[in-house]
Structure 1
């Protein structure tokens, strides 16, 4: 309980100091109490604050209705960092949001992920990749795990390895998982590149049901994974968005909507 002798100004200053030194951590709002739209989606970012999200305040802020991740020349990263949604750890769900990223940017949307303590604000799990040069946007990449599970335009199946190595990374070849099998094409890399608007707003839609993981951008299916690798896959976990190690950059997210299935 706060004693009456504490002055309001001092309390505000103390809270700001805690946020700046240890990252932004706010109370999550229960999804059961949130208002759903006509399609059953719930807004999980209010556009004004970081309520319900946890991340490093040096790199994340709420500004003009957007969730902003930014690396500046005086605050370069040593490890990828995320801002992590605290309101749910969904299994089957759909997620819709808009993103915009600068040309030098590297980001992504993690889901069904494990939260790590070292480094802080790190996630391990599936990722819908986003990059400013538009080489990988929409592919399925497993952060700190099996790496690439599907490039753009690929429908893949991930099967268990018959003789897995003791070290997971030993089964990664040329930055892709050895258990990846391409079962179909859903478009050429050149045609799908044109779907993404450079340095402009794009809508991404994740459809995650059971072991099938589909990434759509601006209404077009970009990658489609069926993960049969029970030893390594995850069926639920944290959601978060990333700022990647690299040069100064900026990524913005807005209209972040979640529908649990």
Structure 2
């Protein structure tokens, strides 16, 4: 029968070996040193260990307040441990609004969070963005799209810039517009960037959409490294962009979450975890 070792047990065994060597126990003469080794090993067992891959993530939302965030208090609050955004017939949006993390610009990173969105909701997680100064609390740039109808959730949509860079189920390569075109909107057709080149199908768009739970909590995970941008929902890769458009791409920028103009909606975010790379 083979003996199986968990990561925790393996860690403790390695720690024990290191202690034995460091304490010079090859001669077995000093009982006190055995006691010291036993004590430290006991500490390792009692406190366990931290997986560096997990420990590198830090919470950027404390679950109690919106300290560290910039937002319009008419639409964003904290309820039941979650960032809560809501519009109503009596309190509609005139333009897309964002709750913006005040931690500054981020380049390469991983970002994880859970979200809940109403059926009529339209939202997204914004990253590597800059401010759209014509509107208060507004960002423009890459967005991991989220919507209550699950038509667009997981795609890469560039807010107020090149529009769709990858639909759900697509791995794409993004190229620049011709030098003769200076207005980005002239290189957009049917709300998608003309420089969107399909590299590979990641899966059927509808089948991937069925992995997203309507009216319930889902998890979203963004990995941005260099010019490669990956969006995961509930652990499944939904879109992947290789942005080779050196004219327009962003390699760092601000982060936030969106509420979109439209019918009354509700969006919630919790367990917001960031790891810089």
Output the TM-score relative to the length of structure 2.
Answer: 0.80
What is the match of residue 125 of structure 2?
A: 109
The equivalent of 1:158 in structure 2 is 174
Q: Which has the larger radius of gyration?
A: 2
The answer to whether 1:220 aligns with 2:236 is yes
Instruction: Kindly state the Cα deviation for residue 64 of structure 1 after the two structures are TM-superposed.
Output: 1.1
The runs of at least 4 consecutive aligned structure 1 residues that moved more than 3 Å come to 36-39
Question: 1:60 matched to which residue of 2?
Answer: 76
The equivalent residue for 1:191 is: 207
Counterparts of 1:236 and 1:254 in 2: how far apart (Å)?
A: 23
Q: For residue 206 of structure 2, give the secondary structure of its aligned residue in structure 1.
A: helix
Residue 63 of structure 1 and its aligned partner are, at CA, apart by 1.1
Q: How many residues align?
A: 226
8 Å CA contact 1:94–1:260 kept in 2: the answer is yes
How far apart are residue 163 of structure 1 and its match?
A: 3.9
Which of 235, 241, 248 does residue 232 from structure 1 map onto?
248
Q: Which runs of 5+ in 1 are unaligned?
A: 1-35
**Alignment partner of 1:204 is 2:254:** no
- How much does 1:166 deviate? 2.2
Structure having the higher helix fraction is: 2
Distance 2:197 2:75 in 1: 37
Say whether residues 1:124 and 2:140 are aligned partners.
yes
Q: Please, what is the CA RMSD of the aligned residues? A: 1.2
Gaps of 5+ in 2: 1-51
Where does 1:242-261 land on structure 2 (aligned, <5 Å)?
242-261=258-277
Give matches, 1:10-49, under 5 Å. 38-49=54-65
Cα deviation digits, residues 141-180 of structure 1 (max 9, x gap)? 0000000000000000001223452211010011100111
Separation (CA, whole Å) in 1 of partners of 2:224 and 2:180: 26
Tell me, what secondary structure is at the counterpart of 1:38? helix
